[in-house]
Chains A and B, each alone.
Chain A
Amino acid sequence: MARDHLIRVSDLSVTYCADEGMPIRAVDGISLEISPQEIVGILGESGCGKSTLAGALLRLLPPGAKSEGGILFRGLELMNLPEAELRALRGREIALIPQDPALSLNPVITAGVLIGEVLRAHLPLSAAERRQRVKELLCEVGFDRPEEIYSAYPHQLSGGQRQRIAIAQAMACRPGLLVADEPTGKLDATLQSEIIELLSKIRQQHGTAILIISHDPAILAGFSDRIAVMYAGRIVEVGSSAEIFGRPLHPYTQALMRIASSMITSAGVISRFPAIAGESPDPGCIAEGCRFEPRCSERMDVCSQRYPQTFLPEPSRLVNCFKYGE
């Protein structure tokens, strides 16, 4: 360990054992470090295992999922921590911002109490102190009139407001790491940038490290410090945000960036978007070679024979592609 990492994931695999059929390896040997105050983006499409990764970091996977590998958080190995200690950690040290704010807030509990519940679970505060803290948190996530929001039920709030409540919940105990699983996936384009701005502000003010998961490079642009690109359960490329956006190395990343840029520049009507042909492989039946090989425009013979090992074309960059070595 050269630097002090906040969390260090090493060779993490998660396997879902379905009753029928083959076990599915949703996350396959992932290693990743996050430093304190760092924002790391996980870029990948649905089904690539990114949400499973988020669950695994919190040690919160559905029954039937088996995880192997190591997750070292502040010197604590989460993989062999008993459930009680994990519970004390969740929300206190590592907090999750879920994907769909319409589903992630309990419909019969008011927003204020929902946030207060997190405080109650971790901090010895009196009811009055808790109430006060909740109001501060509500201001912090951008509500002008916290009293009104405090007693509002989730169904009385808009999508953007709900996501702010979820962020306030996650930030309640000032965790060291926020895990945000597609925090803007279900929001309008306008609201997306607001939420991203809020998360930026939180990092600035509290030095919270953030692991943000998204399928959309545009969300991560200008927000995350480092980006890990995931494809079919594996990380295929890691680099600083500038490197990944400016000079993507893996053909998948390159294609993804072309697509994303074609969708955000308002350069007039086009007759075709750049695209990647085909679909990502079914996680149930993964072939021997590079998982992107069937869709890759630069495939070589070796690509279908074995999985490319990790190459380090530059000191800070990792890429799994035979283009960068043999």
Chain B
Amino acid sequence: MNYILRRLLRAMLLLVGVSALCFLFTEMAPGSFFDEMRLNPQISPETIAALRSSYGLDQPLAVRYARWVNAALRADLGYSIAYNAPVAPLLWSRAKNTLLLTTCALAITWLISVPLGVWAASRRGGLVDRAVTLASSFVISVPELVIAVGLLALVVRWRILPVGGMMSADSDALSMLAKLKDVARHLALPAFILILCETSIIVRHVRASVLEVLGATYVQAARGLGMSQSRLLFRHVLPVAANPAISLLGFSLAGLLSGSLIVEVVCGWPGLGPLILEATLSRDLYLVIGGIMFSALFMIGGNFVADMMLIVVDPRIRKEGVDAR
């Protein structure tokens, strides 16, 4: 129990740290939302100053941060200047889409990576192993952006899938089932790109950790006692290999998130990615901070889930938890 509490506390501290850094960096970044307005002779400096103070931007950094934290605790992440709307609902409407994309990609990535990695490792040097190693190193060596743009071009040229947005223009008229299908077809391309990039990394890690455990003395010893190959793999190797793999889950979420920001922009998926990009370019302060906080929340949440899974899987960590009582 204590272990979980400690993890939660750590997660909170992390969020505080991230938000503080965000404020600091946005403060240090040159320019502000009102720079363009200043160039416009029709808007008087007084108006701009009034606008600034209405958004609270004339206050010192510490005061702004304190206000923001205070509001954030009540789920209010400030006000977007560009959209002229509260940040939280704005972000949430986009975050839902990002969440849909990343969780789909995450689930499928792991569904592919684990069996493939285990298969490759158990037949080391075999055809599957060599194919997996070769293909994954190819995908890893090509930048995500290039893969995304390349696949997009292919899809557009061959008209395999709809591109841009998350549903067709006429989707309102469709039945529930057809609607779902429509979303899935829009989701397919960005998800595929993410899965491809992420799987190529995860599968290598899974393979490596299974290989390491397969070579361990206790696996050799179990072999010497006549365990069958499949029993050995599933009962003796996988539970041990799961530990590094689960720790990786948290990291893979980070990879997916940063990847999804790029992929969303390229494929026109209406997620956080395009929103944060726009907000950054227009220096829409609170929207940027809110977007980053959302991403941080996802990641910390993912790591937390991974930690919880580790407790279930690894008795050594469970023991540590008991000790701390």
Pairing of A with B: yes
Chain A residues at the B interface, C-beta cutoff of 8 Å: 58, 60, 87-92, 95-96, 98, 100, 103-110, 117-118, 120-122, 153, 155-156, 166, 169-170, 172
Which residue of A89, A91, A103 contacts B218 across the interface (Cβ within 8 Å)?
A: A103
Tell me how far the C-beta of B76 lies from the nearest C-beta in chain A, rounded to whole angstroms: 45
CA distance A91 to B316 in the complex (A): 28
* A58 and B224 form a contact (CB under 8 A): yes
CA distance A166 to B222 in the complex (A): 10
- Main secondary structure on chain B at its contact with chain A? helix
- Given known contacts A121-B231, A153-B315, A153-B319, is B225 in contact with A105 (CB within 8 Å)? no
Please count the residue pairs between chain A and chain B whose beta carbons lie under 8 angstroms apart in the complex.
Answer: 84
* B221 and A98 form a contact (CB under 8 A): yes
Q: Which residue of B lies closest to A86 (CB)?
A: B226
Q: Which residue of B lies closest to A96 (CB)?
A: B224
Q: Which residue of B lies closest to A58 (CB)?
A: B224
* A89 and B226 form a contact (CB under 8 A): yes
CA distance A58 to B221 in the complex (A): 11
- Given known contacts A103-B217, A104-B221, A108-B314, is B226 in contact with A92 (CB within 8 Å)? yes
Please indicate the chain B residues that have their CB under 8 angstroms from the CB of A87 in the complex: 226-228
Q: How many residues of B contact A (CB 8 A)?
A: 24
Please indicate the chain B residues that have their CB under 8 angstroms from the CB of A109 in the complex: 235-236, 239
* B319 and A155 form a contact (CB under 8 A): yes
A-B contact pairs, 25 of them (CB 8 A): A58-B224, A60-B220, A60-B223, A60-B224, A87-B228, A88-B226, A90-B224, A91-B225, A91-B226, A96-B221, A98-B224, A103-B218, A106-B219, A107-B315, A108-B239, A108-B240, A109-B235, A109-B236, A117-B222, A117-B225, A117-B235, A118-B226, A153-B316, A166-B221, A169-B225
Tell me how far the C-beta of A324 lies from the nearest C-beta in chain B, rounded to whole angstroms: 37
- Given known contacts A153-B315, A155-B316, A155-B319, is B218 in contact with A107 (CB within 8 Å)? yes
Kindly identify, within residues 227 to 278 of chain B, every residue whose CB is under 8 Å from any CB belonging to chain A: 227-228, 231, 235-236, 239-240, 243
Please indicate the chain B residues that have their CB under 8 angstroms from the CB of A103 in the complex: 216-218
Please indicate the chain A residues that have their CB under 8 angstroms from the CB of B227 in the complex: 87, 91, 117-118, 121
Please indicate the chain A residues that have their CB under 8 angstroms from the CB of B236 in the complex: 106, 109, 117
